[in-house]
Amino acid sequence: MDDLVMSARAMVDAADASDHRAYNVAARDFVERVTFATADDITGMLREVFAADWMAMPPWARNLSYRLACLQRPDDAQLLQAAAVDLYSFGPDWDEHAERLSAEAGRIQQEH
């Protein structure tokens, strides 16, 4: 298991334990690791963490992860669509961004 996955799981576990100090430390570690991770590492982490418990990762961490991966691979229609679907899952506040990502994914698919 790589460091990014372990960091994400530590953050989820700390949130489940309601230990605010441990959560803050784990969240800071997660942000540091995801910031410098490759898109492949990020998407792999998301798959693994979601497989264990789809709702466990906080929306801010999901959004950050997808955002960083999409910035690295802006022409990856599957990634953009996955990010859009995830945004739709967490309320109407993100729908405008999800629609933009979904439209961009559709445009890329039509070009290829």
Residue-range domain boundaries for the chain: 1-59, 74-112
- What are the b/e assignments for 81-105, b being 16+ CB within 10 Å? bbbbebbbebeeebeeebeebbebb
Joined together, the tokens standing for residue 57 give: 């990762």
Which DSSP symbol is given to 18?
T
Q: pLDDT at position 1, please?
A: 62
Cα 46 from Cα 51, distance rounded (Å): 8
Ranges in the chain, pLDDT < 70: 1
Q: pLDDT at position 17, please?
A: 87
61, 79 in Cβ contact below 8 A? no
State pTM to two decimals.
Answer: 0.94
Cβ partners under 8 Å of residue 75, min gap 6: 108
Joined together, the tokens standing for residue 6 give: 């372990």
Q: What is the pLDDT of residues 51-78, one digit of tens each?
A: 999 999 999 999 999 999 999 999 999 9
101, 89 in Cβ contact below 8 A? no
CB atoms within 10 A of CB 107: 11
